Structure 1
């Protein structure tokens, strides 16, 4: 609202005084700074509430000025000023829109990293490489997906689902450019162990019920359907756990998985996977064991039934393993010198074995196991039955931790190699969303694979765009080629798995490196490996983490303590044991404790300081008290020598008679039995002396004197010599305290707790 000058003049002429004048200019940034008395280029000197109050008062004064001289002298708003003001408003609105769009774009780039990838994507230099790498990895997905589905005790088609859907979702949310998402040996093994345990409990419940199969639900009777339901529920649980960890920014928990523990666990898992495939290579039909001691029980069953091995299956497995091993160890390195595109030998083996199995009818004539029906197309999505995981949330947590630890480790390796950054928390969210959404499409938990990721890099893959072409190939296989894999021999897929485990077994070489470097690291590796192999995968992981933590605690429990001395002509203090030219001062001790001072190592700190200084206050206090008590006892004994000696015979006789009276009135016969002489043999005692009754009732004043005989001169000399020796020992103890000042170098400390503070007080 605005009052014109003509209206003002007419109002004043009519005697009407306007009370206020309303001018509503825009609160621009310059006005804001002017009102707040705030310099943009310097830090604010006033607190927030003061600046807010100044802004409010200044705005009120400018918008609603009182009828004072300020009103009469206010400037007129010209048309040029209105035009410039409207122009500033338009510019201000445009800046606001640009600011909002800028932050919106940054937010979208952070949530969906693929937008940044596409925004900066170089078609000419990257597209062809991503196409080649994508199809190459897609070809690997087919045999590995079906093979690792067998490890997870699921039909092969679900391995293809797990290779397709998680990789597709990860493309939109992942920050790593070079990892391949899908099936992986460790996660597949964990899934298989979990499903075996579930089926075992279901069979046990069925036996406990003792009813016919018609009275049991279809989920209990249809074991394959039950496995699929639990696998999808496990995938959903794993995804939710990973997503929550990402939201809570718990990506740093992966750091607690030490390299020795991870290496030992990986080799132990490789032994489990190898053992699970031996029976397929031999053509034996053996039950799967669940729980602890799985590997020993499996090998016992294998050797008991070794005579029933299927010879055609064994021969076919040997041929496949030989071809794969020879190609990957001898031929592939030479081929890679001439071409970056590797030959898909795994897929070639699957195709050739399928053709041989089909035309020779290996299943019908020689009883060679085949994978069976592979459904065509993609099944309809289904909501996972989350209620199944109520009692198995621990399995979901362990699987989630292992899957994300392996994946993030691979992501960091390739990010370091190709000089880009990954966000651990975003990776957690990406894997969580991938597993959660994929679980609706009948998948089991997915993770990154080292072998496929290495092939992706060697084939020239640049970005996650390559995963789109891998998914395209998998769609073609699922929709058109899947049923053709009906006659694929199971032993062929097991051979692919066994050869792929070579890289995991080679990590056993790390034990030698750890042994040379640190005994603690080698013990962590060995204990984790043994627990994983002989107990189970879950116990191996749990005990591995515990052993790793204990190794850190034990190493920090006994840190080194060094005595420092001054280097001549400098102000540098160094370890006196390492540098012989260091100078130490008699009255000053400088000690450096190379570790944190907390409750675990507090006692060691105190004892180490006492040992280095050679002064133990507790020991010295005990020794001094011991010597002082001995001196007091000697002085007390010497007091007996200073008492007046009694040599009078009559006095001694009177004392003896007093003792006799104190014992009570005796008969004369009793008195006759008294000795004729005193103990010293000086004279006879008086017999039958009648003493007053009051005297007999009095306490003997020399009772204490008679109980402790007076010292002889020889005994006195011995006590004085002993006293001098003890006094000399006290003097030596006093001389042992050579220093007066104790300086503790705390530069190595990062924290100290209350127990450490108490120990520090005791030392000081």
Structure 2
């Protein structure tokens, strides 16, 4: 049927040049657009408020009878996960465990009103907590860590004499405040697209490297070792070195607790959870069970006194009093704050987009910046670290049946009860249990290393970005690794920009199709016409590449060709009888170098994304040099932006008649074939020329 239809399709229209198309079909260079201040939507105060506070809109249409039960179940499940994860990840931030539960309450309530994702479970996340913990360790007074272990300061001689007089909570809340400032600034500047700087490859390599940091930081608690906390760079290297030096002083009780917790949690995740999921959407809260059993065993078995087990320690009851962040510390943590702001936003937005695509609803990237910035601002006054979305909790929230962020409100209500009355119950909890919970939760991020072979198959450059980012994060540090990863991503874009795809197009007989001659056997080059396709952009950096690729593909170097023709003309003036045999041979060699079969070159600009004034200047020079060889150049299918740039730079000046442009390749070919009497085998007839 397709072949039958194709044989009957016939297109009859005039040959158009680009300017004729624009005039005939009334192209407007700057069409009037509705100003954001004149649009009815923005003049409507009600819609403006709903846009600023999305919860007002969807709460008005919330189906309480059908959706609330699902959100209630989901909220309870997520709250159960928040308790062990919050306490465990807070330790990564070098702050008291209760901070992790604070983070699941204050900023999450703010996100409920302002966020646009219905399924993101906001709160603690291992990578963000670890990045915050770096600043906490750097700028806190070491005396706060003496009860666990003194901070090792010998890795940075320049900072040995600097003793900061800040508590871990003060440093963490100041970092949170700085993060909120950056995210709110990005919102007002409409920079939601900044997350595009962090590609999927970069994020994968970065989070995998950060997961290695987390894993190494938990080995001491898993084995019951007492080693110093290192700060600065090469933390993983120094920590691993200390672990090997102290490996003989392991605590067998801690190892047993860790092993049992990890084995049971892993068996639950790999075997029990899939079986339970078939019968019930409510998962087995294995982390909470481990925390409760660990707490009871430690308390009634006197594990700290008998086996010297390190426990969580003091957990205050009640909600924290509001406290202003330490503004004097802002300049010190501004770099870390910016890094955390971008990373946490990227992770949150990525998860939000995944759920939005899966469940068919929209997420506003800039509104997410407002929600996160506002949540962090509130959290900075209530002893919170920067919050972000958790993949594991978000998946559970959606899988259990959560419909909206009402599930987060339910979770917050349950956690208030924990903060007011239940918190001190977990004081005897061994740290090895929390370390085990963290390690089991890291599996997903650590398994991202298996994605490297697939990245390598798809793109060597992407694989290199992943590998360099991962190794830099692991060996040097998280912040340096992120910076190097971004630079590598930008460098890869630059390298790819310097390797544009170019080819010669051939004609498919009896059609108006023009395809790559090197890849389509049926594509036939038209006698006397070279059709050159360039994919990419032409700017000051790539203009020479375009020029070289054009000369290579059409096999004509205008400068050399002009020289050859000048020499041939010079020898032609010499009388034939006076020419010696060596001269005759030289003339023949020159004639062989001169291209005689190319009568016209068509530049296919359908894949040209951009051209700047430098590129237009180069193109003008190319056109003029080929014109000296009596080889005209036509441009086919330029975008409006490319056409306008060429027009502004006087390349399309009708008086100079340097260049002709056509809306399609076929128009250009038909024009050239009419002029040069080139025979084309096509079933598309052109009825007349304008």
Fold match by TM threshold 0.5: yes
Match of 1:352 in 2: 293
Counterpart selection for 1:563 from 501, 504, 528: 504
For the residues of structure 1 that align with 2:160 and 2:384, how far apart are their CA atoms?
33
TM-score normalized by the length of structure 2: 0.79
Quickly say closer, same or farther: Cα 1:574–1:315, change in 2 above 3 A: same
Match of 1:688 in 2: none
Tell me if the contact between 1:230 and 1:389 (Cα under 8 Å) persists in the aligned partners: no
Tell me the CA shift for residue 586 of structure 1.
Answer: 3.6
Counterpart selection for 1:763 from 610, 622, 630: 622
Report the secondary structure of 2:580's partner residue.
helix
Tell me if the contact between 1:296 and 1:534 (Cα under 8 Å) persists in the aligned partners: yes
Tell me the CA shift for residue 505 of structure 1.
Answer: 1.5
Residues 1:155 and 2:96 are matched in the alignment: yes
Counterpart selection for 2:431 from 470, 487, 490: 490
Residues 1:390 and 2:390 are matched in the alignment: no
Tell me if the contact between 1:596 and 1:751 (Cα under 8 Å) persists in the aligned partners: yes
Deviates more, 1:616-625 or 1:514-523: 616-625
Write the mapping of 1:146-185 to structure 2, written as runs, cut at 5 A.
146-185=87-126
Paired residues in the alignment total 575
If asked which structure has higher relative contact order (CA below 8 Å, sep 6+), I would say 2
Tell me the CA shift for residue 279 of structure 1.
Answer: 0.8
For the residues of structure 2 that align with 1:285 and 1:740, how far apart are their CA atoms?
81
Match of 2:281 in 1: 340
Match of 1:372 in 2: 313
Tell me if the contact between 1:167 and 1:434 (Cα under 8 Å) persists in the aligned partners: yes
Write the mapping of 1:622-701 to structure 2, written as runs, cut at 5 A.
none
Greater helix percent: which structure? 1
Tell me if the contact between 1:320 and 1:495 (Cα under 8 Å) persists in the aligned partners: yes
Write the mapping of 1:122-271 to structure 2, written as runs, cut at 5 A.
122-199=63-140, 220=165, 226-271=167-212
Match of 1:17 in 2: none
1:620-651 deviation per Cα after TM superposition (whole angstroms, max 9, x unaligned): 3455677899x79x99xx9xxxxxxxxxxxxx
Write the mapping of 1:32-181 to structure 2, written as runs, cut at 5 A.
103-181=44-122
TM-score normalized by the length of structure 1: 0.71
Tell me the CA shift for residue 271 of structure 1.
Answer: 0.7
Match of 1:651 in 2: none
Counterpart selection for 1:742 from 588, 601, 609: 601
Tell me the CA shift for residue 759 of structure 1.
Answer: 2.6
Tell me if the contact between 2:41 and 2:48 (Cα under 8 Å) persists in the aligned partners: no
Report the secondary structure of 1:428's partner residue.
helix
Residues 1:733 and 2:593 are matched in the alignment: yes
For the residues of structure 2 that align with 1:289 and 1:139, how far apart are their CA atoms?
32
For the residues of structure 1 that align with 2:42 and 2:486, how far apart are their CA atoms?
46
Tell me the CA shift for residue 198 of structure 1.
Answer: 2.3
1:453-488 deviation per Cα after TM superposition (whole angstroms, max 9, x unaligned): 111112111111111111111111111011111100
Structure 2 alignment gaps of length 5 or more:
1-31, 33-39, 144-150, 624-690
For the residues of structure 1 that align with 2:296 and 2:79, how far apart are their CA atoms?
21
Report the secondary structure of 2:44's partner residue.
helix
For the residues of structure 2 that align with 1:601 and 1:101, how far apart are their CA atoms?
43
Residues 1:724 and 2:665 are matched in the alignment: no
Tell me if the contact between 2:506 and 2:515 (Cα under 8 Å) persists in the aligned partners: yes
For the residues of structure 1 that align with 2:225 and 2:184, how far apart are their CA atoms?
41
Residues 1:294 and 2:226 are matched in the alignment: no
Write the mapping of 1:579-658 to structure 2, written as runs, cut at 5 A.
579-621=520-562
Counterpart selection for 1:430 from 371, 375, 381: 371
For the residues of structure 2 that align with 1:472 and 1:102, how far apart are their CA atoms?
37
Structure 1 alignment gaps of length 5 or more:
1-47, 49-98, 639-716
Tell me if the contact between 1:134 and 1:468 (Cα under 8 Å) persists in the aligned partners: yes
For the residues of structure 1 that align with 2:42 and 2:545, how far apart are their CA atoms?
60
1:56-92 deviation per Cα after TM superposition (whole angstroms, max 9, x unaligned): xxxxxxxxxxxxxxxxxxxxxxxxxxxxxxxxxxxxx
Report the secondary structure of 2:226's partner residue.
coil
Deviates more, 1:179-188 or 1:717-726: 717-726
Match of 1:466 in 2: 407
Tell me if the contact between 1:558 and 1:601 (Cα under 8 Å) persists in the aligned partners: no
Match of 2:224 in 1: 283
Q: What's the C-alpha RMSD, in Å, of the aligned pairs? A: 2.8
Report the secondary structure of 2:610's partner residue.
coil
For the residues of structure 1 that align with 2:568 and 2:136, how far apart are their CA atoms?
74
Quickly say closer, same or farther: Cα 1:432–1:208, change in 2 above 3 A: closer
Tell me the CA shift for residue 723 of structure 1.
Answer: 2.8
For the residues of structure 1 that align with 2:412 and 2:88, how far apart are their CA atoms?
18
Larger Rg computed on CA atoms: 1
1:287-325 deviation per Cα after TM superposition (whole angstroms, max 9, x unaligned): 122232221221111111100111111111101111111
